[in-house]
Structure 1
Amino acid sequence: MRWPLVLTGLQLLLVPLIASAEAERPASPALAASPLGGGVLLETAGGLVLILVLIFALGWLLRRFGRLPMSSKGEIAILSGVSLGPRERAVLLRVGNTRLLVGVAPGRVQTLHVLDDVDTQHETSGRFAGQLDSVMADQEK
Structure 2
Amino acid sequence: MWSRLFGIALLVLTAPALAQETAGKSAVAAPARAPDTLGTIVSLGLGLVAVIAVIYGCAWIIRRMNGMTGMNNNAIKVVSVMAIGARERIALIEVGGQQILLGITPSAIRTLHVFDEPVVDPGNANSGDFARRLQSMIGKSWTSPTRND
TM-score normalised to structure 2 length: 0.29
Highest CA radius of gyration, 1 or 2?
A: 2
